[in-house]
Chain A
């Protein structure tokens, strides 16, 4: 029952709120950066928070023909999942709240919960856009998940540990960005795929399928999913910064490193046209997975030779 207590603690404890506030702030920075890159003005600083407040205040419509337990439950599970994952990562440069050997694997799977939940949520409704969106969400999940996992394994192997805090500590002395550049790039792009940011936003391409799997969500459920995405953004950035950018040990370093990553993410978002889902899958399996695999092999061989 430990986990339940943790979830409760997170939802009530101010730290959970801090994570969500951080997520909203990062969403704002991301939107503002994209706007700046497109020579626009972008939203004001409280816009993401205002959106959430507005959504929470709104009526939640239960569409016909859905399983209402799933419909209401999935957003909660998704948000709880990412918030739990937040326990294991060095957010804001502080030591993780929980740490045990193998927590990396747990964190990765908790992060995938959000995608799984939104896929399920889409499949749960009868809406055509949701169904197509759900198919695409899950298709995309299968294509980026393996390469993304491998990119986090690379640092784990050189650090010789499956514990996030230990890898973080090891990375403090080694900028893995330079020894494993491919892993870094793929991890960053994988994060964008995970968050369904452009150009990997085929699962929610508004010009084709409205909002994809989320089409039928309104009010509270939609707010929770969005919060989940924001938290996942900040966790993903933290993980990559911790593993590849020389570790995270203080709040200032955290800010600098994650914001630099966010700038790169925003740039990539603005730079490309949306990929079709078949192109996304092709890209990940043909380029992403192979490259990372090659690098992983190289890492293992090198480590074997030096050991």
Chain B
């Protein structure tokens, strides 16, 4: 039994800088494996839909632009995604990944959360046929 068993810790921290991270002012780099926003590489996608099938929160849709030429656009609902990386695991062609840079995803409107991934011209086409998207 002794009084003030934490005295040593306290005394030392008197001369130490606080460990509190000054988050919005100073940002630490995220670890390489961090699961941030989904990334999609349309070049390799075969349209097998395996990623869509196991997504626990229905956060991704694969829109077929031209099936024969393997042109797809991925619609990603960032706000529904739980960042579980099951889709990444499911894709056998390595089209999907999770960014460790884009993880600050707060937004003031809901539109910002619906993202389309794909080749430039496919995106153009999709947006021109569906002006409301």
Contact = CB atoms under 8 A, between A and B. Distances in A.
Q: Do chains A and B touch in the complex (CB under 8 A)?
A: yes
Interface of A: 35-42, 267, 270-272
A10 B7 CA distance: 41
Contact of B6 (A35, A36, A40, A271): A271
B130 interface: no
17 contacts: A36-B13, A36-B14, A36-B18, A37-B10, A37-B14, A39-B18, A40-B18, A40-B20, A41-B18, A41-B20, A42-B18, A267-B10, A270-B6, A271-B3, A271-B6, A272-B3, A272-B4
Q: Which 9 A-B pairs have the closest CB atoms?
A: A41-B20, A39-B13, A41-B18, A37-B10, A271-B4, A40-B18, A39-B19, A40-B20, A270-B10
Q: Is the interface of B mostly helix, strand, loop or mixed?
A: loop
Contacts of A267: 10
Interface size class on chain B is 10 to 19
Nearest to B10: A37
A187 B67 CA distance: 84
Most chain A C-beta atoms within 10 Å of own C-beta, residue among B3, B6, B22: B6
A37 B13 contact: yes
Interface string B1-30: 001101101100110101110100000000
Given A37-B14, A271-B4, 10 more contacts: A35-B18, A39-B9, A39-B13, A39-B19, A40-B19, A40-B20, A41-B18, A271-B6, A271-B10, A272-B3
B75 to A, nearest CB: 42
A38 B18 CA distance: 8
Contacts of B19: 39-40
Nearest to B6: A271
Contacts of B9: 39
A234 to B, nearest CB: 23
A273 to B, nearest CB: 10
A38 B4 contact: no
A39 B6 contact: no
B81 to A, nearest CB: 32
A42 B7 CA distance: 19
A147 B110 CA distance: 63
Contacts of A38: 10, 13
Contacts of B22: 41
A38 B19 CA distance: 10
Contacts of A41: 18, 20, 22
